[in-house]
């Protein structure tokens, strides 16, 4: 048995090509939402772990973060001559 295919008339649109633009935008929005939710969960988990640390470890982490941030700011100032 052979199958024959016919081409649609020029004025007729394919059904699959009508929603390609909206599907792509919807897909990108879905990915962005998923990344945002996963980032929020990771941040919440990190916060809970940080809250359970002893005070001396919290202080060390805060000072390390502050030092890293100061280094990055000074690097950006050097690069942009600010």
35 in any annotated domain: yes
pTM passes above 0.75: no
Please, are residues 50 and 61 in contact by the beta-carbon 8 Å criterion?
A: yes
Question: DSSP label at 81?
Answer: T
If one counts the domains in the chain, the total is: 1
Question: One digit per residue, pLDDT tens: the chain, 82 residues?
Answer: 566 777 666 666 666 555 556 777 888 999 999 999 999 999 999 999 999 999 999 999 999 999 999 999 999 999 998 6
Identify the residue whose tokens are 């390390």: 64
- Note down the domain range covering 54: 26-80
């Amino acid at each position: 048995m052979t199958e024959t295919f016919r081409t649609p008339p020029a004025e007729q649109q394919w059904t699959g090509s009508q929603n390609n633009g909206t599907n792509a935008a919807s897909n990108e929005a879905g990915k962005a939402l998923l990344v945002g939710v996963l980032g929020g969960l990771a941040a919440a988990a990190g916060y809970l772990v940080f809250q359970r640390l002893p005070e001396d470890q919290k202080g060390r982490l805060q000072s390390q973060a502050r030092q890293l941030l100061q280094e990055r700011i000074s690097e950006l100032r050097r690069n942009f001559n600010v």
